[in-house]
Structure 1
Amino acid sequence: MTDQPKRAMTMREIREGLGHVQPGQPEPIVQATRYEVSLLPEGDVNRLLFTINVEYRGDNRWAVVRHRLCMNAEGVWSWESVPSEREDEWLAAHRFDLDTALRLAKEHAPKVMVNGMTALSVYRRTHPTP
């Protein structure tokens, strides 16, 4: 009789064997729920002011958000009311798949305006080309 090779352990079994996870304990769920989109690089003092966020809203739908405003597909910002006051028509116009939401945010990132200055003009002023 030949010896059968032992099956390989799963990562779960290895972690349980090492005491990193309790047997039968469900695996924690890790999910990205927000992307920051900005023309200004990380560490730039003005970045927060000129950032557009793409935020997960459930059911594989994402919103393009800046402060309490939400962008529709035409690039128009409107106030995002509390969930109980949102109409289905408004939700349909302001929720996107991730690729569309990121595309819209990237298209509009240079145009974000604060105190009469766009993100692009601030970038050019603070990051001059050599």
Structure 2
Amino acid sequence: MTDPKPAMTMREITDALGHATPGVPRATVQATRYEVSILPEGDINRSLFTINVEYRGDDRWAVVRHRDCLNAAGEWSYELRPSEREDDWLDQRRFDLGTALDLAKKAAPHIVVNGHTPLDAYHP
């Protein structure tokens, strides 16, 4: 009886099949921004009434629109330069992904552009 070979790792299998270049790390894919709007994709006004949820590192996300940043109370304020941000400022404006998306969805119908809301711009 022959000695069985140890099980191969997934990397060893893909290398053996030619699906990866030996010695080269695999590329990673990470979502870093979500768009939130009540207007449908393709609507001419969507870009005006969109809030972005953007990855800021360390599993923390910011809810932003132009240069403004949303806090947990639903208030917008200018996003300070990184060198000016204190920990308490960041703690009020950085969230886990689920919380950030929830805050953005709640704020989305209330954006105002030149006196108009996305509800004014919505045409089903």
Fold agreement, TM-score > 0.5: yes
> Counterpart of 1:48?
47
Closer/same/farther in 2, CA of residues 69 and 60 from structure 1, 3 Å limit? same
Consecutive unaligned residues in structure 1, runs of 5 or more:
none
Question: What does 1:11-26 correspond to in 2, within 5 Å?
Answer: 11-26=10-25
Q: Secondary structure at the match of 2:106?
A: helix
Question: What does 1:1-130 correspond to in 2, within 5 Å?
Answer: 1=1, 11-123=10-122, 126-127=123-124
The CA RMSD measured in Å over matched residues stands at: 1.9
Consecutive unaligned residues in structure 2, runs of 5 or more:
none
TM-score (norm 1): 0.84
TM-score (norm 2): 0.88
What is the CA–CA distance in structure 2 between the aligned matches of 1:40 and 1:7, rounded to whole Å? 55
Percent identity (aligned): 69
Shift of 1:11: 4.5
Shift of 1:9: 5.7
Shift of 1:64: 0.3
Q: Secondary structure at the match of 2:43?
A: coil
Q: Once the two structures are superposed, what CA deviation does each residue of 1:62-110 show, in whole Å capped at 9, x if it has no partner?
A: 1000001000011110001211111111111111111110000001111
Q: Secondary structure at the match of 2:19?
A: coil
What is the CA–CA distance in structure 2 between the aligned matches of 1:55 and 1:10, rounded to whole Å? 34
Shift of 1:51: 0.3
Closer/same/farther in 2, CA of residues 2 and 42 from structure 1, 3 Å limit? same
